[in-house]
Amino acid sequence: MALYVIGDTHLSLGSDKPMDVFGGGWEGYVEKLSAGFQAVEPQDTVVLCGDLSWGMSLEQARPDFAFLDALPGRKLLLKGNHDYWWTTASKMNAFFAENGFTTLHILHNNCYFYRETALCGTRGWFYEEEQSGHNEKVFRRELIRLEASLKAAGEHEKLCFLHYPPCYQGYTCPEILELMERYGVKACYYGHLHGGSHRLAFNGRRGGIEYRLVSADYLGFRPQIICE
């Protein structure tokens, strides 16, 4: 039984926004994802760090969910800034149940466990948002969600999963960093960054926490193993 992570699958099987148009590593990315998941076993867990589908609604994203559900492993889904299909957890869980998507689970205001390790997370916040006018209400809500997830973990060892990077090219989100440090998070995995932005990502240790970028194109569309 192993634990994996990957973010930013950007699937578009039910809408017309395939990432292949960007060329480079994105060409044939759906097939690359299928191949990359072949190392995952049915009993494994894979955390998906947001920006999963370009669908504008649950119904439009249905083919993307079907694709993800058919991949091996239990999948824990976080919200990304492009997941416009995202609605309430109850509606998403009901939709998954109605469609027989048994491997998809929402990581939102809660946590899951891999053995004795708590898997916590939320979308997070990013400096880009401030450039178009800092939305204090949304930011504070993300902090509340992250703390709720960390509290749900109790005294267990904690891993944190975000969509937005909490530190990047000299920028940091001190409130999120402080929360993770206060709750004793061991490592943080995040996505959102693509292409040339990869070189500006922070990969390494800060304040006792290990940070890793896990965007799909950064990982070559192969889920990164965390532990087994």
In which residue ranges of the chain is pLDDT below 70?
Answer: 18-24, 127-134
Spell out the residues 6+ positions from residue 145 whose beta carbon is closer than 8 angstroms to its own: 108, 109, 122, 123
pLDDT of residue 141: 92
CB-based burial label for 152 (10 Å; 0-12, 13-18, 19+): middle
CA trace torsion 82, 84, 88, 93 (10° rounding): -90
The Cβ of residue 90 has, within 10 Å, a number of other Cβ atoms equal to 9
Pairing of strands 117-122, 111-114: antiparallel
The Cβ of residue 214 has, within 10 Å, a number of other Cβ atoms equal to 26
pLDDT of residue 24: 67
pLDDT of residue 125: 86
Q: Which fold has domain 3-227?
A: Purple Acid Phosphatase; chain A, domain 2 (3.60.21)
Considering the entire predicted model, what is its pTM? Answer: 0.94
Query: Could you tell me the end-to-end alpha-carbon distance of the chain, in angstroms, rounded to an integer?
Result: 6
Q: Which of 202, 228, 198, 200 shows the shortest CA–CA distance to 215? A: 198
CA separation for the pair 210, 208 (Å, rounded): 7
